[in-house]
């Protein structure tokens, strides 16, 4: 990859939202800014962006430390996208490497990613990057009411 990987800033929110939409998760710029500010304030979260030599952002990765009662802490990818026209150029590998470096600096030895069953290209990327499938599962969401 020609360019750099750096921490995301609030100035990146427009491109983060655009790339999220490209990935199939539409997100309003204002909402992305609010979420990014919360993640910046949390030492368990890190959002990184991949920039070309001209400074343009072409990908991002969100990694966080997950904690469970029954297992040691591990890293998990909350989101990971590279702009369609810049895939297969080492950008995803550079982002993933930076996320792994951030985790190992915190003593975390395992990285997990969840990937939709239809994202065959992503599965191949993760397997090539050293991931192995450990579980096949379904995800259930339930809206909960917030008292105001």
Alpha helices in the chain (DSSP H): 13-22, 29-40, 91-104, 120-128
pTM higher than 0.75 for the full model? yes
List, for residues 98-114, the tens digit of each pLDDT value. Answer: 999 999 999 999 999 98
Distance CA 80, CA 52 (A): 17
Q: What are the distances in angstroms from CA 30 to CA 20, 80, 94, 118, 141?
A: 13, 19, 27, 29, 24
* Residue 39 neighbours by CB under 8 Å, 6+ apart: 45, 46, 47, 62, 64
Model confidence band, residue 23 (pLDDT cutoffs 50, 70, 90)? confident
Whether 117 has a pLDDT exceeding 80, the answer reads yes
CATH classification for the domain delimited by 4-8+46-128, as one of 3.20.20.80, 3.40.630.30, 3.30.750.210, 3.10.110.10: 3.40.630.30
Q: Are 127 and 113 in contact (CB under 8 A)?
A: no
Give me the residue label for tokens 């072409």: 58
Query: Domain ranges in the chain?
Result: 4-8+46-128
List, for residues 28-41, the tens digit of each pLDDT value. Answer: 999 999 999 999 99
């Amino acid at each position: 990859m020609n360019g750099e990987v750096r921490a995301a800033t609030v100035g990146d929110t427009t491109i983060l939202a655009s790339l999220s939409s490209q990935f199939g998760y539409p997100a309003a710029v204002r909402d992305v800014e609010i979420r990014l500010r919360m993640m910046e304030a949390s030492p368990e979260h890190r959002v990184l962006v991949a920039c070309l030599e001209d400074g343009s952002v072409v990908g991002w990765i969100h990694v966080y430390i997950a904690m469970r009662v029954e297992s040691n802490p591990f890293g998990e990818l909350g989101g990971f996208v590279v702009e369609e026209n810049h895939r297969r150029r080492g950008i995803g590998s550079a982002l993933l490497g930076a996320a792994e470096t951030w985790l190992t600096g915190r003593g975390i030895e395992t990285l997990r990613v969840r990937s939709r069953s239809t994202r065959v290209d992503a599965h191949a990327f993760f397997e090539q990057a050293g991931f192995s499938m450990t579980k096949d599962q379904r995800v259930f969401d339930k809206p909960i009411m917030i008292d105001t």
